[in-house]
Amino acid sequence: MSTSSRGACLADFGHDVVCVDILEERIRGLERGEIPFYEPGLDSLVTKNVRDERLRFTTSLAEGMRNAQVVFIAVQTPQSSSGEADLTYVMEVGKQIGALLDDYKVICTKSTVPVGTARRLAKVIRDAQKKPVDFDMASNPEFLREGSSIEDFMRPDRVVIGTEAAPAEHLMREIYRPLFLLDTPIVHCPRIETAELIKYACNSFLATKISFINQVASLAEKVGADITQVAKAMGLDRRIGGKFLHAGLGFGGSCFPKDTQALVRIGEEHGEPISIVAAAIEVNAGLPARAFAKARKLVGDPRGKVVALLGLSFKPNTDDIRQAGSLELTRLLLEAGATVRAHDPVAMPGFRKVYPDLQYCKNAYETCEGADLAVLVTEWNQYRQLDLNHLGEIMRGKAFLDCRNVYNDERLTEYGFAYACFGRPRVRDGEVVS
Ligand code: UGA
pLDDT in tens, 262-319: 999 999 999 999 999 999 999 999 999 999 999 999 999 999 999 999 999 999 999 9
Average pLDDT (342-354) is 98
- Give the helix/strand (H/E) hosting 55: strand 55-58
Is 262 a pocket residue for ligand 1 (Cβ < 6 Å)?
no
Is 146 a pocket residue for ligand 1 (Cβ < 6 Å)?
yes
Q: Can you tell me the distance from the alpha carbon of 15 to that of 18, in angstroms, rounded to the nearest whole number? A: 10
pLDDT confidence of residue 81 = 79
* Cα–Cα separations (whole angstroms), residue 26 to 9, 19, 286, 366: 18, 11, 37, 34
Q: Can you tell me the distance from the alpha carbon of 341 to that of 375, in angstroms, rounded to the nearest whole number? A: 10
Q: What is the DSSP string of 65-109?
A: HTT-SEEEE----PBPTTSSB--HHHHHHHHHHHHH--S-EEEEE
For all residues of the chain together, what is the average pLDDT? 95
User: How big is the chain by its Cα radius of gyration, in Å?
Assistant: 24
Q: Is the pLDDT of residue 146 over 90?
A: no
pLDDT confidence of residue 280 = 98
Measure 414 CA to ligand 1 centroid, in angstroms: 33
- Residue 93 is classified by DSSP as H
156 φ, ψ to 5°? -75, 155
> If DSSP codes are grouped into helix, strand and coil, which group holds residue 176?
coil
CA dihedral 301, 305, 308, 314 (to 10 degrees): 40
pLDDT band of residue 429 (cuts 50, 70, 90) is confident
Q: Can you tell me the distance from the alpha carbon of 60 to that of 83, in angstroms, rounded to the nearest whole number? A: 32
Mutate to test the pocket of ligand 1, among 6, 77, 206, 256 (most ligand atoms within 8 A of CB): 256
Is 250 a pocket residue for ligand 1 (Cβ < 6 Å)?
yes
Ligand 1 atom showing the smallest separation from residue 143 Cα: 7
Q: Can you tell me the distance from the alpha carbon of 155 to that of 253, in angstroms, rounded to the nearest whole number? A: 22
> Which tens digits make up the pLDDT trace of 186-233?
999 999 999 999 999 999 999 999 999 999 999 999 999 999 999 999
pLDDT band of residue 165 (cuts 50, 70, 90) is very high
Would residue 255 show up in a list of annotated catalytic residues for this protein? yes
The residue whose CA is least distant from atom 29 of ligand 1 is 251
Q: Is the pLDDT of residue 1 over 70?
A: no
pLDDT confidence of residue 204 = 98
> Which tens digits make up the pLDDT trace of 61-103?
999 999 999 999 999 888 787 777 889 999 999 999 999 999 9
